[in-house]
Structure 1
Amino acid sequence: MRHPLALTVITASTLLLAACASPPQPEPEPTAGAGHGQVAGAAEVSEPPLHLLTATTDGRLTLLDLLSEEASGLGRIDAPLTTATDGRYLFADTGDGVEIVDSGMWTWDHIDHFHYYRAEPRVLERVPGHGTARVATTNSSTTGGTGIFFADGEAVLLDTEALSRGEVVERFRVRIPEHDGYIVPVGDHALVTTGEGAVQVRDRDGTVNGDPVACTDPAGTLTTRVGAVLGCRDSVLLAVAADAGTAVERIALPEGVAAPRVWANREGRPTAAGLSPDGSIVLLDTRERTATALAAPRPLIAVTAVDDASEHVLGLTVEGRVSVIDGATGAELALTEPLVAASLAAGRTPTLIADDRRAYLNGIAERVLFEIDFADAGRIARTFATIDEPAFVAETGR
């Protein structure tokens, strides 16, 4: 079913999209099958097929094409509690399983160039499980694994290559003592928390590989261009896939700064941002293996690292504004009007997303999707009025 979103377009200019420049030094090349991320039935296109995939609290799905500004209804899933994305799929935790929505849009990163693909969107088979779930992804939508840790202690590693063909295949499912845990994919392996202050490296069949690595109070995971991140109480683990297996390194946090519970960045970049419990911004540079803290220019509830030449960091303030911050100094460069004040007043927390050109913010109570040009003094480039509340949002095609 197709229906148009009501649109209020702030600028008449077409949104120009381009792949980001090559990094200043080489990173480990992603593993990929033949065809550079090609999947049977998908069409290669000349530019990133960027879309916003939204879900309502009762599971109604809409896919908004950011080039054509057309929206398509994708049916519905069970009511989500939380969602996660890898830039292609939406993983929706429903409390008794994880629903998987394939947007059919993805980018394959070949380090010095990119390949872009479009296919038909679809809802895939549900992954069964008990209790709430944490989902951890990589930056590849066609290779490697996707981790799901259920509250009852079951850790599941999905085969992402199979997902790209529309098949839900579990590489392994293991029972761990019940705790607030994680299973974090790293190449063909995965980090799995034990519930006893440590992390194991497991092979693709679930076999434990090597000695456990200490990690008290694990919280917050993200995959950067360099490797997979998992926060611990006083440090951060960085796991990097290598020919000999998975190498796990420890990055110290600044003295007196507690680990953020959430990390976010422009997908695939080396630097991630998180908010420490004391309100400071922590920037984790996985290329340099360093973590630094910046005083936030005002109280924030979420941050994300754009990690561009200008070192932009974006923050969502407690008043519902978007703050554009200098990642080198912590100075505030721009501040929007209160965009999502009504959502925050209603106890709803929007999602702030960044890519290389724009940021996106879902006004849930406002029923508006905001597109923000953070490099142009936080200018609101476009707004998209929605019929339903966009309670959850993911940018796909990146």
Structure 2
Amino acid sequence: MSPLSLRPSRTAALACATALGLLLAGCSASPSDAPASGDTETSAESSDDTGAGHGEVEGAVEAPEPPLHLVSIDAGGSVSLLDLLDGTETDLDDVRAPEAVTSDGRYAFVADDRGVDIVDSGKWTWDHVDHFHYYRADPAMPGTVEGSGVATVATGMLATAGGTGVFFPESGEAVLLDNAALSKGEINETMRLDVAPHDGLIAPLGTGALVTEANANGDIERLRAVDAEGSEIDAIECVDASGTITTRLALVVGCADGAVLATAEEGSTELTKVAYPADAAPAATEFSARKGRPTVAGLGDGSGVWLLDTREESWSWIAMPERPAAAAAVDDESEHIVTLATDGSVRVLNASGAEIAATDPLVTDADRNAQVSLTVDAQRAYVNDPATGVVHEIDYADGARVARTLEPAVAADFFAETGR
């Protein structure tokens, strides 16, 4: 593997945003995904889930900055872990040939139509709202969750508390995993519900979950909030539910007519529908943002991007000439968005849709390759090109500059950024 011009510390070398004035990440001493000024809202995770030790687990070492890594997985299931700070690389055990990969910033959940293999990078950030703790531990392979159909995986805010939802569409099995056990290398299913087979989801909510419910035709009609025993405690209409993300304020699930914002505290839940404006563009069916941020980007069939502000409980539509292949919200007040255009270029837009900066085309067949993914953190964006196996690192606050082109030992047909 080439040196890739790796610096001793990525965050130490970052300068404040330049002439473009994109003060997206700020220039504080902390390199974390820190809250914007005034962001002191309660986490979407129950306060009971935060626990003592601020995310520490036995065998982990606290780090002075986010221990950012890339998990690369090729089409055959080979896996490697690349340290983005010092360039060292570790080969991990093979997993199943992936059809989809999901990450919460620590784990990579590798799914095919028979189950999900879990890769633990051993790198994570504990978000304590007003401050952060960073941890490094040895990578591990906790094991497998069995089921039928390519699973939809829904993650929470914290890698060592709360839960992770795994929904198998062909068998209709809705599984909730215990993150505290997972952080110790154990797969503990705290819930496995048998529901009607459909393209649904189960998302962690407090000590329970939010689960889709379908009719006899497999069409989703509502969301059920269930407690730790799987008993229904609340419900709300949500036709054609699709797409979910957890912010500091709420769990988000997309519906045909808007989105449900769900919170849980002290055993009670609150389910709120945020409806689309009148004469709205097609609904968002997938959501992405810098981890934890209250504003998230939504993509559907429309030529543009939705922005959902979970703090203000409001939508805004950004019309574009075409639908981007991917989009992620990266901050709140300025509402900047990083998108992957269909020509393979990465573009930075403001809330009105004006292009602030763009790269040259970097990704082959960006609009037709489901393996391509875009991830953003407080300072950089990452996008893979499965045609070449590389991952491009883009400084989106510095004119969308391509900071590095990373060449993992294992081709990045799929990838996840961890440690964030």
Answer yes or no: same fold by TM over 0.5: yes
Cα distance in structure 1, aligned partners of 2:321 and 2:282: 19
Cα distance in structure 2, aligned partners of 1:114 and 1:84: 23
Pick from 351, 367, 385 the counterpart of residue 407 of structure 2.
Answer: 385
Do the aligned residues in 2 keep the contact of 1:308 with 1:356 (CA within 8 Å)? no
| Cα-to-partner distance string for 1:198-224 (whole Å, 9 max, x where unaligned) | 1111111211113x2111101010011
Pick from 204, 218, 221 the counterpart of residue 241 of structure 2.
Answer: 218
Alignment-derived partner of residue 101 in structure 1: 119
Cα distance in structure 2, aligned partners of 1:335 and 1:350: 18
Do the aligned residues in 1 keep the contact of 2:303 with 2:321 (CA within 8 Å)? no
Alignment-derived partner of residue 223 in structure 2: 199
1:190 counterpart = 2:209: yes
Distance 1:20 1:338, change over 3 A: same
Distance 1:345 1:202, change over 3 A: closer
Do the aligned residues in 2 keep the contact of 1:234 with 1:258 (CA within 8 Å)? no
Do the aligned residues in 1 keep the contact of 2:325 with 2:366 (CA within 8 Å)? no
Aligned partner of 2:255: which letter?
A: C
Pick from 101, 118, 122 the counterpart of residue 83 of structure 1.
Answer: 101
Secondary structure of 2:130's counterpart equals: coil
Secondary structure of 2:192's counterpart equals: strand
Cα distance in structure 1, aligned partners of 2:7 and 2:83: 16
Aligned partner of 1:182: which letter?
A: L
Cα distance in structure 1, aligned partners of 2:143 and 2:322: 43
Cα distance in structure 1, aligned partners of 2:32 and 2:248: 15
Q: What is the CA distance between 1:378 and its match in structure 2?
A: 0.4
Alignment-derived partner of residue 8 in structure 1: 4
Write out aligned runs for 1:147-186 (5 A). 147-151=165-169, 152-186=171-205
**Matched pairs, number:** 390
Q: What is the CA distance between 1:129 and its match in structure 2?
A: 0.8
Q: What is the CA distance between 1:8 and its match in structure 2?
A: 3.4
Q: What is the CA distance between 1:174 and its match in structure 2?
A: 1.0
Let me know the Cα RMSD of the aligned residues. 1.7
Aligned partner of 1:19: which letter?
A: S
Write out aligned runs for 1:268-279 (5 A). 268-279=292-303
Alignment-derived partner of residue 307 in structure 2: 283
Cα distance in structure 2, aligned partners of 1:314 and 1:235: 22
Write out aligned runs for 1:259-274 (5 A). 259-274=283-298
Cα distance in structure 2, aligned partners of 1:346 and 1:388: 22
Cα distance in structure 2, aligned partners of 1:12 and 1:38: 27
Q: What is the CA distance between 1:33 and its match in structure 2?
A: 1.8
Q: Flag structure 2 segments of 5+ consecutive residues without an equivalent.
A: 13-30, 216-220
Q: What is the CA distance between 1:243 and its match in structure 2?
A: 2.1
Aligned partner of 1:203: which letter?
A: D
| Cα-to-partner distance string for 1:166-206 (whole Å, 9 max, x where unaligned) | 11001111111111111011121211111130111111121
Pick from 394, 398, 401 the counterpart of residue 372 of structure 1.
Answer: 394
Do the aligned residues in 2 keep the contact of 1:368 with 1:383 (CA within 8 Å)? yes
Distance 1:233 1:361, change over 3 A: same
| Cα-to-partner distance string for 1:88-129 (whole Å, 9 max, x where unaligned) | 011111211111111000110111110111111011121111
Alignment-derived partner of residue 345 in structure 2: 321
Moved more, 388-397 or 371-380: 388-397
Alignment-derived partner of residue 16 in structure 2: none
Alignment-derived partner of residue 26 in structure 1: 40
TM-score by length of 2: 0.89
Q: Flag structure 1 segments of 5+ consecutive residues without an equivalent.
A: none
TM-score by length of 1: 0.94
Cα distance in structure 2, aligned partners of 1:44 and 1:309: 31
Alignment-derived partner of residue 318 in structure 2: 294
Cα distance in structure 1, aligned partners of 2:240 and 2:319: 24
Do the aligned residues in 1 keep the contact of 2:373 with 2:384 (CA within 8 Å)? yes
Matched residues, percent identical? 43
Cα distance in structure 2, aligned partners of 1:357 and 1:195: 40
Secondary structure of 2:10's counterpart equals: coil
Cα distance in structure 1, aligned partners of 2:179 and 2:349: 35
Aligned partner of 1:379: which letter?
A: R
Cα distance in structure 2, aligned partners of 1:21 and 1:155: 33
Do the aligned residues in 1 keep the contact of 2:257 with 2:275 (CA within 8 Å)? yes
Write out aligned runs for 1:130-141 (5 A). 130-141=148-159
Aligned partner of 1:79: which letter?
A: A
Cα distance in structure 1, aligned partners of 2:187 and 2:65: 28
Q: What is the CA distance between 1:227 and its match in structure 2?
A: 1.3
1:254 counterpart = 2:254: no
Secondary structure of 2:143's counterpart equals: coil
1:144 counterpart = 2:162: yes
Aligned partner of 1:142: which letter?
A: T
